[in-house]
Amino acid sequence: MTVPFPPQPAGVAWPTDEWEEAAPVDGVDTGRLSAAVARLLAQPPELGLTLALAVVHGGRLVAEGYADGVDRDTALISWSTAKSITHAVVGLLVGDGALRVDDPVGAPEWQADGDARARITLQQLLEMRSGLRFNEEYVDVGVSHVVDMLFFAGKDDVAAYAASLPLDHAPGTVWSYSSGTTNIVSRRCGGAVGGGEEGTRRFLHERLFGPLGMRSAEPSFDAAGTFIGSSFVHATARDFARFGLLYLRDGVWGDRRLLPAGWAEHARTPTPGVPAEEPFGYGAHWWLWRDVPGMFGAHGYEGQYVLVVPDRDLVVVRLGKTDADLRPNLVAALSEIVASFPTP
C-alpha cells in the first residue's frame, strides 16, 4: 500500500513568509532527536562537515543548526538536489500541457535519419534510463563526463555536451545515473518555457520559488542559456525545506495546487533495473529510501539531502561536505533523526 501524503495540519501556517517554530510534539523521542542533531553539528570526522541542518515536523520547524560562519540566511550549493527541482519544473510544464513525459525529447543532436537516440523519451530521462553513455564519477577515473561537462569542455553548453554522447544501451533498458541526462531535460524545459535564460529564470521564480517563499534560491545557467538543472541551485536550508514540504504536501501549497495531481507520486514511483548494490532505489529524479515506506529524497554530491518522509510528516535537510566513503555514516546519522519521529 502506498503511504499517503499528509495534508498541512489545521492551524499550522504555511511557511511562505516565515517558518512556524515549535518544540517537538508528544510522541517524538526528543532525547534521541537532540542527540542525533548534536552529533551532526559537533562535526565528528566520520560524518564530515555539516554546514546546515533543518528538521520540519507537521509543517513546523522543530530543529535547526549551523556550522561556524553559516546561518539561516546563508545560501549553500545544491549539487544534485537540483535534479529534484528539475523534476518539479517538468511537473509544472506537464500541468500546463506544454510537455508530455511519454513523448520523445527531440534533441537537435539526434535528428539524423536512423539515429536511435531519437526514440529517447522524457520519462526515460527522468528515470535515468536513456541508454546514453555518461561517467558520473568525480574522482579517480580516466574520463569523467560530469566533470568535463560542468567545468571544462561542456561547460558552455551542458545539454549539447550530454546529448552528443553515443548510446551504450537501447533506450529504456538500463538504469545509469547521469547528470548529463538532467541537463538534456532542463534544455527541453527551457525550450517549452521560451525566452532563453531570462524566460527560464522568470519561470522558476514566478512559478516555483516565488510561490514557496524560496527567496534565497538562485539557479545557475550556462552560456547557451540552459538552466544547469543537474547541479547548481544555491539556497538556504530553510528554503530547501520549503521545497521538501511541497512534495510532502503532494504538490499543494496553501490553497493552490502547484504541481499536477500525482506528480509527487511520480517522483517516488520505483524505476526498474536499479542495481541491487545501489544503497537506494530510484524514482524519477528522486532517490527512494527502501527502509522507510514511502520515503524519498533529493540527494547531492558531498552529502546534500532533502528527505521527505510522509508516514512521519517529516522533512529533513542536511547541507555540508562529506566524502563519498563516509556517506554510509552520514546516512545512518540522518536515519537516527528520522527514527526519532513516530509513525501514525
Taking residues 200-226, report their average pLDDT. Answer: 98
pLDDT in the model for residue 143:
85
- Is residue 202's pLDDT more than 70? yes
Whether residues 178 and 223 fall in one domain: yes
**309 bridge partner residues:** 314
**In whole angstroms, what is the distance from residue 312 CA to residue 342 CA?**
6
Confidence of residue 12 (pLDDT cuts 50, 70, 90): very high
pLDDT in the model for residue 142:
74
Whether residues 88 and 195 fall in one domain: yes
Number of domains in the chain: 2
Give per-residue pLDDT as tens, 28-41. 999 999 999 999 99
Q: Who's near 25: CB < 8 A, 6+ residues apart?
A: 57, 58
Taking residues 330-335, report their average pLDDT. Answer: 98
Confidence of residue 26 (pLDDT cuts 50, 70, 90): confident
pLDDT in the model for residue 1:
54
Collapsing DSSP to helix, strand or coil, 261 comes out as coil
- Is residue 323's pLDDT more than 70? yes
To which residue does cell 521527505 refer? 308
Nearest to 171 by CA among 121, 235, 243, 105: 121
| Range scoring the smallest mean pLDDT among 55-59, 131-135, 136-140, 226-230 | 136-140
User: How far is CA 239 from each of CA 35, 72, 77, 90, 295, rounded to the nearest angstrom?
Assistant: 24, 9, 12, 20, 20
Q: CATH number of the domain that 343 lies in? A: 3.40.710.10
Give per-residue pLDDT as tens, 225-275. 999 999 999 999 999 999 999 999 999 999 999 999 999 999 999 999 999
pLDDT in the model for residue 140:
66
Whether residues 95 and 122 fall in one domain: yes
Does residue 42 sit within a domain? yes
Cβ atoms 231, 150 nearer than 8 A: yes
Whether residues 289 and 206 fall in one domain: no
> Residue 276 is placed in which grid cell?
541491487
- Is residue 296's pLDDT more than 80? yes
pLDDT in the model for residue 76:
98
Whether residues 66 and 136 fall in one domain: no
Whether residues 139 and 200 fall in one domain: yes
pLDDT in the model for residue 138:
84
pTM of the model: 0.98
Does residue 266 sit within a domain? no
Whether residues 126 and 205 fall in one domain: yes
pLDDT in the model for residue 139:
76
Whether residues 295 and 338 fall in one domain: yes
Does residue 13 sit within a domain? yes
Confidence of residue 141 (pLDDT cuts 50, 70, 90): low
Average pLDDT, the chain: 97
Does residue 29 sit within a domain? yes
Percent with pLDDT over 90 in the chain: 96
Whether residues 206 and 316 fall in one domain: no
Give per-residue pLDDT as tens, 172-198. 999 999 999 999 999 999 999 999 999
Confidence of residue 99 (pLDDT cuts 50, 70, 90): very high
Cβ atoms 105, 90 nearer than 8 A: no
Whether residues 37 and 166 fall in one domain: no
Does residue 265 sit within a domain? no
**Which structural domain range is residue 324 located in?**
1-74+236-252+279-344
Whether residues 83 and 218 fall in one domain: yes
Could you write out the DSSP letters of every residue in 129-142? ---B------SS-S
**21 bridge partner residues:** 61
Does residue 268 sit within a domain? no
Does residue 142 sit within a domain? yes
Does residue 55 sit within a domain? yes
- Look at the alpha carbons of 290, 294, 300, 303 in this order and tell me if their dihedral is positive or negative: negative
For 254, left (φ over 0), alpha (ψ -120 to 50), or beta? left
Whether residues 83 and 67 fall in one domain: no
